[in-house]
């Protein structure tokens, strides 16, 4: 290949990479509260799927809006927003739900041991399954 062809190829790849980067950065915000869940399941099912085969669970759950039912193990805060940890007590891991800002005030009515439904976006698994932008479902 000549230098000219290599430079043209590099220019095209740079422009394409820049375009894709800008599209990903400006990806529209998903309103979880108004969206229908892609999947509805129990927290233990979600956790078991990640513990047994993380690769296939990533393909199935990542970036999906998931509605999860589970028992509250712990209530807390992270970066000023509420977090709810769901577990069934038999597994080492748990499902950690990071609430959206609008849902923080609803944490006052929650108690440990209470069974709840939460809807959020699954971002992955690191000993715990993480859901972000969560909203409580009645």
| Pairwise CA distance, residues 26 & 2, whole Å | 37
Kindly report whether the global pTM for this prediction surpasses the value 0.85: no
Are 39 and 61 in contact by the 8 Å Cβ rule? The answer is yes
Candidate ranges 14-18, 25-29, 77-81; pick with highest mean pLDDT? 14-18
* Nearest residue to 82 via CA among 138, 37, 127, 136: 136
pLDDT at 29: 76
Count of H helices and E strands in the chain? 3, 6
Instruction: Find all residues with CB under 8 Å of 8, minimum gap 6, and list them.
Output: none
pLDDT of residue 93: 85
Tell me the pLDDT tens digit for each residue of 24-60. 888 777 888 888 999 999 999 999 999 899 999 999 9
Tokens (6 digits) for 38: 């892609």
Residue 13 clears pLDDT 80, i.e. is over it: yes
pLDDT value at position 41? Answer: 94
Q: Specify the pLDDT at position 16.
A: 94
pLDDT digit string, tens, across residues 83-138: 999 987 677 889 999 998 888 888 888 999 999 999 999 999 988 999 999 999 97
What pLDDT score does 23 carry? 85
């Amino acid at each position: 290949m000549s230098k000219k062809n290599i430079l043209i190829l590099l220019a095209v790849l740079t422009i394409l990479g820049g375009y894709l980067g800008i599209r990903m950065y400006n990806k529209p915000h998903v309103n979880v509260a108004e969206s229908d869940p892609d999947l509805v399941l129990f927290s233990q099912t979600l956790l078991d799927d990640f513990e047994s085969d993380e690769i296939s669970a990533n393909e199935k759950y990542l970036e999906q809006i998931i509605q999860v039912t589970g028992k509250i193990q712990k209530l807390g805060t992270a970066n000023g927003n509420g977090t709810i940890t769901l577990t069934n007590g038999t597994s080492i891991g748990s499902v950690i739900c990071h609430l959206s800002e609008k849902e923080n005030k609803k944490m006052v009515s929650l108690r440990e041991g209470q069974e709840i439904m939460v809807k959020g976006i699954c971002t992955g698994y690191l000993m715990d399954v993480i859901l972000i932008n969560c909203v409580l479902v009645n």
